[in-house]
Amino acid sequence: MVLVQGNNGHGKSNLLEALYLLVIAKSQRASTERELVRRESVGVEFFSQVAAVVQREDGPVRVQVDFKNTVNESHGGEAENRLNVQKYVRVNGIPRRASDLVGEINAVMFSAQDLDMVYGSPGLRRRYMDILISQVDREYLRAVQRYQRVVIQRNHLLKGIKANRSQPSDLEFWDGELVKSGSLVVARRRDTLDALSEGAARTHATLTDDGEALELAYRPSFAIDGRRTPEDIGEAMRESLMQVRSREIAQGFSVRGPHRDDFQLLLEGMDVGLYASRGQARTAVLALKLAEAEYLSHARNRQPILLLDDVLSELDAPRRRLVLERVSNYSQVFITTADVDVIEPGYLSCMTRFTVHRGHLERVNE
């Protein structure tokens, strides 16, 4: 295990975010590449790189993500204060698409923002599902990308029908495309959440001494009942689209499909976000994250990298001990903390330690 210690605001979280960037080819927190750029870089050209060499059973793999900003000259001859950030991805030196990077490295990120899984918007939970499943299923990633493009085209058509520029019959083709990609997305999400639910329930029982039962419940935007295959789910989806046809035309956008899906964390059948204490919610999410690591290990037949960003300080001593015991079974773990005292000496002595100060890392001599 690697421990990165230092005061808040000096770069501990940035380090883990950079590592996770190599997993999903985008920031976990920022919505655009522009948000990753320091304000001092506005108006100047810059180049930055995040890279790592991953040792795998089939040999080392080098992954890198480069960012470049170009400065445009205004008519007055001065650099415009607009960022034009371009991203480049390479695997073993070969240029690749950003989506091709997903799955080269598997990782699970633990952070204080994980409570958004309980209290945040459905979009955050959908993004969580997409990132997790895409790491193990490239077909799913392609289906999600196709589905997102179809929704945009279909929404444009719905607006055109509402404005009498197009005919309702024009929806038939886009309905078929929506069902083709969307049914696979729903099927994979349901299977994955079922597997996660089993693992999270076991882990939660350990963390709470067989206390309240934890369950993950998938909430698709249309009824799928016991249907599990993409073909059967596709039939249900097509029926649902016909039922809301008039509503979609009146509103001008698609109201059914996996872009409206959600899932809930339930304790004894009750929504954690509505009825649980903050401590119960934190424990439930922690169980989910540990189940995620277990799921990736089995699905990829290799252990993911675990990234724990200052989460131990939010746990009581027994739960810290349980978490450290569980994560110590993984081959590579990065832990950040501002308070080394929260880690018991027995675990601390087994860690490779670094301090971070104003973005600079330094090895701690044992």
Backbone phi, psi, residue 355, to 5°: -110, 150
C-alpha distance from residue 82 to each of 26, 56, 63, 228 (Å): 20, 41, 29, 48
Element (H, E) at 56: strand 46-56
Longest dimension (CA), the chain: 74
Q: What is the mean pLDDT of the chain?
A: 90
| pLDDT at residue 239 tops 90 | yes
pLDDT for 79? 46
Q: Are the CB atoms for 300 and 106 separated by under 8 Å? A: yes
pLDDT for 274? 94
Q: What is the mean pLDDT of residues 286-294?
A: 96
pLDDT for 226? 86
The predicted-structure confidence for 35-63, as pLDDT tens digits, reads as follows 777 666 666 777 888 999 988 888 899 99
Q: Are the CB atoms for 5 and 337 separated by under 8 Å? A: yes
Q: What is the mean pLDDT of residues 264-271?
A: 96
pLDDT for 72? 64
Higher pLDDT, 113 or 199: 199
The predicted-structure confidence for 304-317, as pLDDT tens digits, reads as follows 999 999 988 888 88
The predicted-structure confidence for 53-107, as pLDDT tens digits, reads as follows 988 888 899 999 998 887 665 544 444 456 678 889 999 999 999 999 998 999 9
Is 0.85 topped by the overall pTM? yes
- Burial pattern 16-53, b for ≥16 Cβ within 10 A else e, equals bbbbbbbbbbbebeeeebeebbeeeebeeebeeebeee
Cα–Cα distance for residue pair 338/311, rounded to 1 Å: 10
The predicted-structure confidence for 180-213, as pLDDT tens digits, reads as follows 999 999 999 999 999 999 999 999 999 988 778 9
Cα–Cα distance for residue pair 357/49, rounded to 1 Å: 20
Residue in 75, 52, 74 with CA at minimum distance from that of residue 62:
52
Residues, the chain, total?
366
The predicted-structure confidence for 119-134, as pLDDT tens digits, reads as follows 999 999 999 999 999 9
Q: What is the mean pLDDT of residues 3-10?
A: 88
Q: What is the DSSP letter of 223?
A: -
Q: What is the mean pLDDT of residues 217-245?
A: 94
Q: Which residue has the tokens 């329930």?
A: 201
What tokens does 341 get? 């005292």
The predicted-structure confidence for 204-218, as pLDDT tens digits, reads as follows 999 988 778 999 999
pLDDT for 80? 46
State percent of the chain over pLDDT 70.
94
What tokens does 173 get? 């083709």
pLDDT-derived band at 223 (thresholds 50, 70, 90) equals very high
Q: What is the mean pLDDT of residues 341-361?
A: 90
Amino acid at site 165: R
Q: Are the CB atoms for 284 and 204 separated by under 8 Å? A: yes
| pLDDT at residue 366 tops 70 | no
